């Protein structure tokens, strides 16, 4: 527990106050930024900045020419007040007076000092980088001597610390309960969107920037003799465009043929947004022999509760047709679905005009279940009838043996 002081004792709302060390640390660790208040020449200043907690010290960084950093150089340091707030929800009361917010906050008073020890400074800088992504320090260039000299780090010991929080439902006056107005809580949370690579970046999005997901929504890498499946990434755009720049490849797909690599980048970005929303799991297909990217495929209509998933959004360069790549990719996807995820049902949808796709799905061992009339709109605006195929768990063992047999070197490839 942190000790109460005159500065950390509340005059109002004492039921929301706390001094638990673990609670304060958890809020500081979850928040990425803080507000640092101080005075300059008798005038108040507030500096929004990034912070990191290491033990019972908060480190903040800034420019060596900044006013607070200059003031902190002196032997007496810089008196500051640090504030961090996490907004968890908006509370809507029946009366305007009882509107509120659910939140968790930390206020820390103390004296910040400039970090002059080079080892401590380097450690604090590494901790700041690691906070935005565990493993990032090893995955980025360290600062040069010049950059370190231009960067100042402040250290604020955590001694006078208070936690203030509100949780729970609306607190209305009893006489307002019969009013016809909606009341309740709107939860809020900070959610990372899909990572957006900078211009010219060819490295895939690192794992520490991919949100943790259910295995059903995770594009786990898979490797066979003919194909490797890897998580689709915008860094694959150029190679994927080169492999699939063919009108025949896109003939029966829901997207028109990309006119250039930027068009294909938009297709990939759409797939990644769908993955972020939990509706699709996209892979890139790489030729296991040459290492070249040759196509893409996905899970979609993922329904973990009903243990069902669809396979589709597949496009493969014509040079890889009938090479075993597509067949083995489906074998890997089916194996993951049935053997690893415990799926009961795997589904395919294909345009009724696409007889080549229908024959390929039938060769996998899937059963035709019917036709969905006017199911989707084609890129040219016409409505397509969709043929529905499915395989259930009981059919998988036989289909697996058949697929493995078809991939033998002497067998004809599908």
| Domain harbouring 159, CATH code | 2.30.110.10
Would you say residue 243 lies in a domain? yes
State how far the Cα of 372 lies from the Cα of 319, in Å rounded to an integer. Answer: 31
Residue 2 has pLDDT above 70, yes or no: yes
SS (H, E, C) 173-211: CHHHCCCCCCCEEEECCCCCCCCCCCCCCCCCCCHHHCC
Residues 112 and 179 grouped into a single domain: yes
* Enclosing domain of residue 254: 210-406
Residues 256 and 344 grouped into a single domain: yes
Which pLDDT score is estimated for 203? 86
Per-residue CA distances from 379 to 97, 165, 310, 384 (Å): 53, 52, 21, 10
Residues 224 and 268 grouped into a single domain: yes
285-314 tens-digit pLDDT: 999 999 999 999 999 999 999 999 999 999
Residues 248 and 281 grouped into a single domain: yes
Which percentage of the chain shows pLDDT scores above 70? 96
395-404 tens-digit pLDDT: 999 999 999 9
Would you say residue 230 lies in a domain? yes
Tokens of 129: 């980088």
Would you say residue 8 lies in a domain? no
Would you say residue 87 lies in a domain? yes
Q: Which of 320, 317, 312 is nearest to 351 (CA)?
A: 312
Q: What is the mean pLDDT of residues 190-204?
A: 85
Which pLDDT score is estimated for 67? 63
Would you say residue 276 lies in a domain? yes
Q: Which of 219, 225, 243, 220 is nearest to 328 (CA)?
A: 225
Q: How many domains is the chain built from?
A: 2
State how far the Cα of 227 lies from the Cα of 298, in Å rounded to an integer. Answer: 14
Residues 222 and 271 grouped into a single domain: yes
Question: 318 — phi, psi (to 5°)?
Answer: -60, -30
CATH number where 249 lies:
3.40.630.30
SS (H, E, C) the chain: CCCCCCCCCCCCCHHHEECCHHHHHHHHHHCCEEEEEEEECCEEEEEEEEEEEECCEEEEEEECCCHHHHHCCCCCCEEEEEEEEEEEEEEECCCHHHCEEEEEEEEEEEEEEECCCHHHHHHHHHHHHHHHCCCCHHHCCCCCHHHHHHEEEEEEECCEEEEEEECCCCCCCHHHCCCCCCCEEEECCCCCCCCCCCCCCCCCCCHHHCCCCCHHHCCCCEECCCEEEEECCHHHHHHHHHHHCCCCCCCCCCCCCCCCHHHHHHHHHHHHHHHHCCCEEEEEEEECCCCCEEEEEEEEEEECCCCEEEEEEEEECHHHCCCCHHHHHHHHHHHHHHHHCCCCEEEEEEECCCHHHHHHHHHHCCEEEEEEEEEEECCCCCEEEEEEEEEEHHHHHHHHHHHHHHCCCCCCCC
Strand partners for 153 = 61
Residues 227 and 103 grouped into a single domain: no
pTM over 0.85: no
For residue 64, name the pLDDT band (cuts at 50, 70, 90): low
6-41 tens-digit pLDDT: 787 777 767 788 889 999 999 999 999 999 999 888
Residues 89 and 229 grouped into a single domain: no
Residues 160 and 94 grouped into a single domain: yes
106-141 tens-digit pLDDT: 999 999 999 989 899 999 999 999 999 999 999 999
Would you say residue 128 lies in a domain? yes
Would you say residue 156 lies in a domain? yes
Residue 413 has pLDDT above 60, yes or no: no
Residues 161 and 224 grouped into a single domain: no
Residues 36 and 172 grouped into a single domain: yes
Which pLDDT score is estimated for 32? 94
Would you say residue 2 lies in a domain? no
Q: Using alpha carbons only, what angle is made at residue 244 by residues 238 and 247, rounded to the nearest 5 degrees?
A: 130
Residues 223 and 99 grouped into a single domain: no
Residues 272 and 369 grouped into a single domain: yes
For residue 148, name the pLDDT band (cuts at 50, 70, 90): confident
Which pLDDT score is estimated for 155? 94
Per-residue CA distances from 45 to 41, 68, 107 (Å): 10, 9, 16
């Amino acid at each position: 527990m942190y000790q109460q002081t005159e500065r950390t004792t509340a005059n109002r709302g004492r039921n929301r106050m706390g001094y638990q060390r673990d609670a304060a640390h958890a809020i500081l660790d979850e928040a990425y930024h803080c507000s640092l208040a101080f005075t300059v020449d008798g005038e108040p200043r507030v500096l929004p900045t990034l912070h990191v907690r290491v033990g019972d010290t908060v480190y903040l960084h800034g420019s060596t020419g900044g006013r607070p950093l200059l003031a902190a150089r002196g032997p007496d340091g810089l008196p500051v007040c640090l504030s961090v707030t996490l907004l968890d929800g908006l509370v809507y009361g029946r009366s305007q007076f009882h509107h509120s917010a659910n939140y968790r906050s930390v206020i820390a008073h103390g004296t910040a000092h400039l970090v002059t020890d080079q080892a401590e400074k380097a450690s604090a800088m590494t901790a700041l980088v690691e906070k935005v992504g565990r493993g990032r320090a090893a995955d980025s260039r360290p600062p040069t001597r010049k950059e370190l000299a231009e960067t100042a780090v402040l250290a604020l010991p955590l001694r006078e610390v208070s936690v203030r929080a509100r949780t729970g439902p609306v607190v209305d006056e009893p006489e307002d309960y019969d009013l016809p107005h909606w009341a309740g809580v709107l939860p809020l949370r900070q959610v990372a969107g899909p990572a957006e690579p900078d211009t010219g970046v060819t490295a895939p999005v690192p794992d520490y920037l991919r949100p943790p997901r259910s295995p059903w929504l995770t594009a786990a890498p898979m490797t066979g003799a003919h194909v490797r499946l890897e998580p689709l990434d915008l860094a694959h755009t150029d190679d994927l465009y080169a492999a699939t720049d063919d009108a025949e490849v896109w003939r029966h797909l829901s997207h028109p043929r990309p006119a250039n690599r930027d068009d294909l980048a938009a297709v990939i970005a759409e797939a990644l947004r769908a993955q972020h929303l939990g509706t699709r799991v996209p892979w890139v297909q790489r030729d296991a022999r040459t290492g070249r990217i040759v196509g893409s495929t996905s899970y979609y209509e993922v329904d973990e509760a009903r243990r069902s998933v669809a396979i589709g959004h597949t496009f493969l360069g014509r040079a890889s047709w009938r090479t075993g790549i597509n067949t083995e990719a489906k074998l890997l996807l089916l194996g993951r679905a049935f053997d690893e995820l415990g799926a009961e049902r795997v589904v395919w949808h294909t345009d009724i005009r696409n007889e080549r796709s229908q024959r390929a799905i039938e060769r996998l061992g899937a059963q035709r279940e019917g036709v969905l009339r006017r199911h989707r709109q084609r890129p040219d605006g016409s409505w397509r009838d969709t043929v529905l195929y499915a395989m259930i768990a009981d059919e998988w063992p036989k289909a697996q043996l058949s697929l493995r047999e078809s991939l033998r070197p002497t067998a004809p490839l599908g």
